[in-house]
Amino acid sequence: MQPLTQQELLAWLKETDESRLQRLWAEADRVRREYVGDAVHLRGLIEISNFCVRRCVYCGLRVERSALARYRMTSDEVLASAHDAVKFGYGTVVLQAGEDPGWRAEEIADVVRRIKSATALAVTLSLGERSPDEWRLWRAAGADRYLLRFETSNRKLYDLIHPVGPNGKLSDRIAMLRELRAIGYEIGSGVMAGIPGQTYDDLAHDLETFRELDLDMIGIGPFIPHPDTPLGKVAAVAGPDQPPADELMALKMVALTRLMCPRANIPSTTALATLNLAQGRELGLQRGANIVMPNVTPLKYRALYEIYPGKACIQEDGAQCSFCLRGRLAAIGRPVGQGRGSARAVHVS
């Protein structure tokens, strides 16, 4: 299908009339049904560590947040959580962490091998900026996918909210995603909508970048800073070109992402559920999304993975979360997907 033009993207991003937005919701849902079907694939999220060496100015895991109690799961705990994912009928586990060199590369590779030898799960890694040699090691161990969010395609804004890492260098996550693709991963990324200083043009360019990168998975969330961070202490920015960091803006981005990248896997994120516990995930699924990532992290660690406060469902254990999600999906007539749920994207060489 033909991608929307920049002017069309901008018009939809600025649209607030609900009667007109119904057209966008309906078209995104139609394209989702045509290209990826009705099944919602459930991917078990395992938050393996909340240590992080980065100083991102909005994230509650930033290294300078000394008040946060830190944890690092053991390999056996990760494997046990993966077995829980199998028990709950999930086809994928996502191993996520802050950027934590305390999880050594070979230890990650060993965990991946153990999961792959003991289960039929696809393994997705979301471990931040690591070296190409580490990415190759994990791919050889059996990891299938890698998630690395670029958060905004505006280079100046990215650098403002992501100070240089321990190596003293600015990062280029767009280039890293291309390298991950070349190594053989399915690649996922995403952005935040409503970052202070962001513009509608930036969001339109984000959408065009998704399509250019031919991403397999794309996550969209509203900007939710942790209050104990530099951006969490700044008043919200208002202005005619500042996108709001709200549910409607995030849902418009989900719908437009579906139209721009019809074959991609698009999650209805925890951030949407956090803003609207009653129906945030359902609305995302009705506006183009086809993935949900239920948490299978041991309950004792859930509240400590505090990227932002008040995350949805952190008091539910894995079994409760699975039961609740299946009921919610049944209520909107969406079946649970079977198997690994790989993307159907046709990659451009």
Task: Give the span between the Cα atoms of 46 and 32, in whole angstroms.
Answer: 27
Mean pLDDT value across residues 181-209? 97
User: 6-331 belongs to which CATH class?
Assistant: alpha beta
- pLDDT > 60? residue 348: no
Task: Give the span between the Cα atoms of 221 and 243, in whole angstroms.
Answer: 13
Angle (CA) 146 39 207, round 5°: 50
- pLDDT > 80? residue 180: yes
Task: Give the span between the Cα atoms of 90 and 99, in whole angstroms.
Answer: 26
Instruction: Tell me the residue ranges of DSSP E strands in 203-311.
Output: 217-222, 291-292
Task: Give the span between the Cα atoms of 316 and 324, in whole angstroms.
Answer: 9
Residues near 46 by Cβ (< 8 Å), separated by ≥ 6?
Answer: 73, 78, 81, 82, 85, 93, 94, 95, 96, 296, 297
- pLDDT > 60? residue 214: yes
- Express each pLDDT in 43-88 by its tens digit: 999 999 999 999 999 999 999 999 999 999 999 999 999 999 999 9
Domain ranges of the chain: 6-331
- Express each pLDDT in 98-128 by its tens digit: 999 999 999 999 999 999 999 999 999 999 9
Percent of the chain surpassing pLDDT 70: 98
Task: Give the span between the Cα atoms of 232 and 318, in whole angstroms.
Answer: 30
Task: Give the span between the Cα atoms of 201 and 279, in whole angstroms.
Answer: 29
- Express each pLDDT in 139-179 by its tens digit: 999 999 999 999 999 999 999 999 987 778 888 999 999 99
145 by Cβ neighbours in 10 Å (0-12 / 13-18 / 19+) ranks as buried
Tokens 């749920």, located at residue: 341
- pLDDT > 50? residue 347: no
- Express each pLDDT in 298-339 by its tens digit: 999 999 999 998 888 888 888 888 899 999 999 999 999 988
Least trusted range by pLDDT, from 52-61, 186-195, 227-236, 323-332: 227-236
- pLDDT > 80? residue 237: no
pLDDT at 222: 94
At 254, the pLDDT band (50, 70, 90 cuts) reads very high
Task: Give the span between the Cα atoms of 308 and 108, in whole angstroms.
Answer: 26
pLDDT at 344: 61
Task: Give the span between the Cα atoms of 191 and 199, in whole angstroms.
Answer: 13
